[in-house]
Amino acid sequence: MYDVIIVGSGVIGMSIARELMDKAHLSIAVIDRDIPGLHASYKAGGMLGAQNEFVQDTALYQLALRSRDYFKALSHELYKETNINIDYQEHGLIKMAASEEDVECLTEQYHFLNERDRSVTPLNKKDLDNLSKHTIEFKHPAIYIPDDGQINASKYTKALLKSITNKGIERLYSTEVKAIKRLKDCYKVHTSDNILFSKKVVVAGGAWSNKLLEDYQIEPKLTGVKGEVLLLKNEQLSLKQTLFITNGCYIVPKRDNTFLVGATSYFDDYSVGTSAEGEKWLINQATSYIPILKESNIIHKWSGIRPYTHNEWPIMDEIDHGLFLVTGHYRNGILLSPIIGKLLSEWIVNDQAPSLLDDFKVKRSVQL
């Protein structure tokens, strides 16, 4: 009998496990259908983007800002715990309109952000040339968000996994969860290999989470969105700022003169690997905005499945006594993982929902 079983070893699940192990002496198991820490989290671009995605002052926006503030200290903590450097950087983000039709929306976003943070500024061609050292083509108006940061998502995932291992997590299972059944005083977790029992269960399985909880008829519905990513090597490009285009393409500078280019979006697509069509779109977009990338070598390419709800609003709720659902973070899973780890662990230990998560509860047919 475990105190807590966490289904899913992405950054959300492992952040909850890590915080739980710091808060209480609990027996905790993490279950993943594959090698722990191998899926969407590991394959993400690593942008934090706390201001990049938002145009309204919502509960999600406030949560994003708070979570971003944890990363600098968290990077030091994880390095002390694991000797893994997650490559935290804070060089800012340039967001550019992809077309004339997008200019109005970007202008509205600028006014929203600038009213709350005067460091967010508009960029004309001269400003962009000075900031990017003449590497980015000025096609349409852009804004600069200087406080935005990024990390290496694969190193972050590895660091969290090593951290919970070093802290003495009870078990890490590489098996698929088939069903979760509520008993009188615990949950029965059926896997491909065995049957486990736990007082509480956290389902943090990304785009596959709702399939385990179909009996609860949860709204909003969750689906997977496949994203493809390329990693380019270019010794001539010295760009430090992330470039994000409003059509969804982004170029994220990484260490050793590598540049991560993403991401395509294919809804309800759970296939593995990149497509010729997707690769072509990514290369065309990246080289259109940063021409020097034409001289790059593709050193790696991959795909991942992001959990998506129709309103792009994550789900964080106790859907039955001791059964928690944490999913739907779409492009913000890396960003939100530190604060979700803290808040969900407090909820689990104290049996009281944090007020910061009031707006992320679900509609369901099964009531508590």
CATH of the domain at 351: 3.50.50.60
Which of 213, 289, 223, 215 lies closest to 251, judged by CA? 289
The pair of three-digit structure tokens given for residue 362, joined into one six-digit string: 């679900």
Instruction: Give Cα separations from 80 to 75, 135, 162, 216, 357 (angstroms).
Output: 9, 36, 11, 41, 30
The answer to whether 304 and 286 are in contact (CB under 8 A) is no
Going by the DSSP 8-state scheme, the letter that residue 165 receives in this structure is H
Residues 136 and 227 in one domain: yes
pLDDT of the residue at 78: 98
Are residue 140 and residue 182 in the same domain, yes or no?
no
% pLDDT > 70, the chain: 96
Do residues 255 and 355 share a domain?
no
Taking 90 as the threshold, does the pLDDT of residue 38 lie above it? no
Tell me whether residue 70 is in a domain: no
Binned at pLDDT 50, 70 and 90, residue 215 comes out as confident
List the structure tokens of 200.
């509480």
DSSP per-residue string spanning 4-38: EEEE--SHHHHHHHHHHHHH----EEEEESSSTT-
Condensed to tens digits (0 to 9), the pLDDT of residues 109-130 reads: 999 999 999 999 999 999 999 9
Is the whole-model pTM more than 0.75? yes
Rounded Cα distance between 32 and 7, Å, is 6
* 365 has pLDDT over 70: no
Averaged confidence pLDDT in the chain: 93
286, 309, 332 - which closes a domain? 309
What's the chain's length in residues?
368
pLDDT surpasses 60 at 100: yes
Instruction: Report the pLDDT averaged over residues 340-351.
Output: 97
Mean per-residue pLDDT, 210-224:
87
Which has more confidence, 366 or 326? 326
Is the pLDDT reported for residue 274 higher than 60?
yes
Domain with 174 in it? 2-46+154-219+311-360
For residue 236, the domain's CATH number is 3.30.9.10
What proportion of the chain, given as a percentage, has pLDDT over 90?
A: 84
Amino acid symbol at 194: N
Buried b (16+ CB within 10 A) or exposed e, 47-73: bbbbbbbbeeeeebbebbbbbbebbee
The pair of structure tokens assigned to 113 is: 């952000």
CA–CA gap between residue 91 and residue 332 (Å, rounded) = 19
Mean pLDDT of 347-363: 94
- Which of these ranges, 38-47, 139-148, 171-180, 213-222, has the smallest mean pLDDT? 38-47
Structure confidence at residue 295 (pLDDT): 94
Cα angle 231, 334, 273 (rounded to 5 degrees) comes to 40
Output the pLDDT for position 114.
97
Q: pLDDT band for position 368 (50/70/90)? A: very low
List the one residue out of 93, 107, 110 whose CA is nearest residue 49.
Answer: 93
CA angle 342, 35, 205 (to 5 degrees): 45
CB burial readout 77-86, b (16+ within 10 A) else e: ebeebbebeb
Domain for residue 75, yes or no? no
Contact of 117 with 51, CB cutoff 8 Å: yes
For residues 236 and 258, membership in a common domain is answered with yes
Q: How sure is the predictor about 104, in pLDDT bands with cuts at 50, 70 and 90?
A: very high
Q: Are residues 329 and 305 part of one domain?
A: no
pLDDT for 208:
86
Split into its structural domains, the chain has a count of: 2
93 — pLDDT class (breaks 50, 70, 90): very high
User: What's the average model confidence in pLDDT over 60-69?
Assistant: 96
